[in-house]
Amino acid sequence: MKYPCVIMELSGVELRYLANEIKNSVIKGYYVSNIAAITKESLLFKLHHSTEPDIILMLSTRGIWITKLKFKQIEENVLLGAIKSELERSKIESIEQIGSERIVTLKFKLMDGKLRTIVGEFFGQGNIILCDENMQILAILNPIEVRHRTLKAGLRYTPPPIRGIDVFDLSVEQLWSMRSAAEKDLDVLRWIGRNISLPKKFVEEIAKRAEVAKMKVVQLTDEDLNKIYAAIKGLVSDITEGGKKHNPILITNVDGKAEDVLPIITDYATKSTFKRATSYMEAVDEVLSQDILDLGRNVRTIEMANQIAVLEHDLDEQNKAKEEVISKSFVIRKLANELMTLSYSGIDNLNDDLIKQLLTTSSAAIINEKGMRFLEVVDERIQIDHNNLPKVASLLFSRAKEMERGSDSIDEAKSMLLTRIDKLRNQKDIIHNKMVVKQHVSKEWYERYRWFITTDGLLAVGGRDSSSNSALIRKHLTEQDIVFHAEIYGSPFFIIKNSAVVSQIEKSLYQVAQATVCFSRAWKDGLYSADAYWVEADQIKKGAPTGQFLPKGSFVIEGKRNYIKGIEIRLAIGLMELSNNKRYVLVCGPADAIKKRSLIYSIMMPSGTDPMNIAKKIKSEFVKASADDIELAGFIKSISVDEFIRTIPYGRSKISLTERGEGKTASPSSAGGSSETSKSSSSAQPTMTNTLAR
């Protein structure tokens, strides 16, 4: 026996696991970089961290979870304006569940130190509530006014009365008290369900584990209560602690669509069709996000569906009309043929007894009305002004032909209706296809900047503009790094991360210096060579000297600068597979480094055509070079031209070569070793270095 299909609802114990997982993922330092409305009942929070991957948190009236999907707005949300104005740029302080209730609170710390709280209630119709530090309601999705509480803007938030015993704070003594107060003939399943805040699917599992499923309360001994207590605690632990105890599954319907999720396999699951899931969070994302997508499809196509229904009704009416016309014309033509046959036998008057008999058997009759005579057959009237049989038959033939020509008009109308229906259905399909969202890819922190991996396996990262220059130095520069800058206005900062992990880095020094000059103003100005220098991390001073102004993205450099002169202005763009998360990325840097680790690469030089056209040309060349690998070529075609433009230097460029590279996967080196670099350098006074100018 299979359980009936129901809308998935998160229980309190499942919500505890999700809240803990989110809490563990959203480590200290995450802040809200963007908030978007998805539906009128769901909001998407983009959480950003300086060194960790972005996290996309979905909050809806159905639950809270981390999603890997990218959504587009489906409906307006009345809370969006208030929540964006209050919470953007705020830091997440805590995520907590209220007891075992289906309620979660998220606390945010604003830039001025004040606190804001979002309450998510995931029962009934659900609710999302924004409160201040005193839990005064600033905005609410669904105002409530019931006997036990009133929730609306301006009032203090109060949770609903607790229903059932908190499973996280359960004791054996409470079970004894429950037994004493219960009806003696009550079965154990209903007894547990009425007193403990757990859904039926878990109540059944507890009863099975405790071996009391078929018992009445009156039959329960103290030993049985101990078994029930152990079963409850064990089940709660299995669900909330995760790890090896988790065995998440997706419950599927007859069409194979996932419609419910379980963190562990229970008896409920064995009575249903299910499939394994990688993690409970991902399974929740699959089911609840799919519900959002289905809603989006329905919202966007409901008007089209109504139009199609009207057109299909009209089409059905046209079909009925054609059948009726054809049926009538057949009867009229048959009568005309029989009248003509009788006329050939010598009968030529409608008053003949044989004619009267024929009309009767054909459900036809001659009618006089307002001084005119009609021959009525199948509700059609043909006016006749004489008794001549051949002429009457001719009139019937003419009426049958008129009706048959009318059926042709019906066919034309049907064709137009079918065309309109097909067009609307195609539009629906297009909308459904557009609603298939892409997965959100957790990118590495350095992908926000310009970056590449040197031939020595070291990660080189550079700024894109004054803001990213500043962020790179202030957030990511460590004592083990080396800093580069070009001897030209409009230069980015580049850093070699963890330079001590390899012993010889001369090649890396030259390659990063080359990247520094190539991504400077030198490329846009069409230069063929330029100079750069590098310094140790401790030579970078982030504050301006007393009495001086330091522009955004600029820093003071003290001490010796190690020059690399006459660097060729030349780069390569390549398609590389990152080994740490198995995905393809575009990367631009010195030719030797890019060639070593890319599947396909193009050598670029300054001057030539504008970024848009050169990006299109590079993409085309990559597709041609991967013609023998259908999957790779398909992926390259899916990369937007904007992504190519974002990767290459600013200014005009030309391609000198495109071919297959030497490598497939790459990641920054973590090998040990010490830095033994020569430092032939010149001393210099403290210098304020300019940032990259686009």
Domain ranges of the chain: 12-151, 167-246, 306-434, 449-689
**Phi, psi at 470, each rounded to 5°:** -65, -45
Distant-in-sequence, close-in-space partners of 641: CB < 8 Å, separation ≥ 6: 612, 615, 616, 619
The radius of gyration computed from the CA coordinates of the chain, to the nearest angstrom, equals: 39
Provide the total of helices (H) and of strands (E) in the chain, helices listed first.
Answer: 17, 31
Q: What is the pLDDT at residue 439?
A: 63
For the chain of 694 residues, list the mean pLDDT of each consecutive stretch of 10.
59 94 87 93 91 89 92 88 95 93 96 95 95 97 93 95 87 91 88 88 91 91 94 93 84 85 83 87 90 72 74 83 86 86 80 82 82 83 79 84 79 80 71 55 85 94 90 90 92 92 90 96 93 94 70 80 96 87 87 94 95 95 91 89 93 93 65 35 40 34
User: Could you write out the three-class secondary structure of 570-627?
Assistant: CEEEEEEEECCCCEEEEEEECHHHHHHHEEEEEEEEEEEECHHHHHHHHHHHHHHHCC
Q: What is the pLDDT at residue 694?
A: 27
Q: What is the pLDDT at residue 37?
A: 93
Q: What length does the chain have?
A: 694
Q: What is the pLDDT at residue 673?
A: 33
Task: Let me know: does 594 contact 601? Beta carbons within 8 Å.
Answer: yes
Q: What is the pLDDT at residue 414?
A: 77
Distance CA 618, CA 622 (A): 6
Question: Of 249, 261, 211, whose CA–CA distance to 7 is shortest?
Answer: 261
Q: What is the pLDDT at residue 380?
A: 84
Distance CA 522, CA 650 (A): 10
Overall CATH class of domain 12-151: mainly beta
pTM of the model: 0.65
Q: What is the CATH number of domain 167-246?
A: 1.10.8.50
Q: What is the pLDDT at residue 302?
A: 67
Query: Would you tell me how many other CB atoms lie within 10 Å of the CB of residue 445?
Result: 16
Q: What is the pLDDT at residue 18?
A: 95
**Phi, psi at 545, each rounded to 5°:** -60, 155
Token pair for 583: 């995905």
Question: Of 622, 567, 531, 525, whose CA–CA distance to 614 is shortest?
Answer: 622
Question: Of 420, 208, 170, 180, whose CA–CA distance to 314 is shortest?
Answer: 420
DSSP assigned state of 388: B
Distant-in-sequence, close-in-space partners of 272: CB < 8 Å, separation ≥ 6: 2, 3, 251, 252, 260
